[in-house]
Amino acid sequence: MSAATCSRAGCRDDALWQVIWRNPRIHSADRRKIWAACDAHVAYLRDYLAARDFPVEVAPLESVGEAKGAQPSDAAAEARS
Ligand SMILES: [Zn+2]
């Protein structure tokens, strides 16, 4: 389930991506800002930040939940063998 909405102004689409960035001039090295982005705007938002020389990375929103869910089944598979 995705409750996040795209961060692009005027866009109401469900976000599928997270754009993780920081502004080195005002944020300390361990600060992270996260924008949610839909499929259509993830490249726009990433380029917007990259054009300002901000460190930026993109990750799928859903992988957060999937990564957590993968561990119990892995443990169960190991327990069976
Ligand atoms: Zn959007």
* Number of domains the chain is built from: 1
Say whether pLDDT at 55 is over 50: yes
The pLDDT of residue 69 is: 43
48 CA → ligand 1 middle, Å? 14
pLDDT for 63 beyond 60: no
Residue 12 lies in a domain: no
Residue 35 lies in a domain: yes
Render pLDDT for 13-50 as a digit per residue (tens, 0 to 9).
999 999 999 999 998 889 999 999 999 999 999 999 99
What HEC string does the chain produce? CCCCECCCCCCCCECCEEEEECCCCCCCCCCCEEEEECCCCHHHHHHHHHCCCCCEEEEECCHHHHHHHHHHHHHHHHHHC
Asked, for residue 8, whether it belongs to a domain, the answer is no
Domain residue limits at 43: 17-80
Dist. CA 51 → ligand 1 center (Å): 19
- Whole-model pTM: value is 0.71
Does 6 map to a domain? no
Q: Kindly state whether residue 10 falls inside one of the protein's structural domains.
A: no
Residue 9 lies in a domain: no
Question: How many angstroms does the Cα of residue 13 sit away from the middle of ligand 1?
Answer: 5
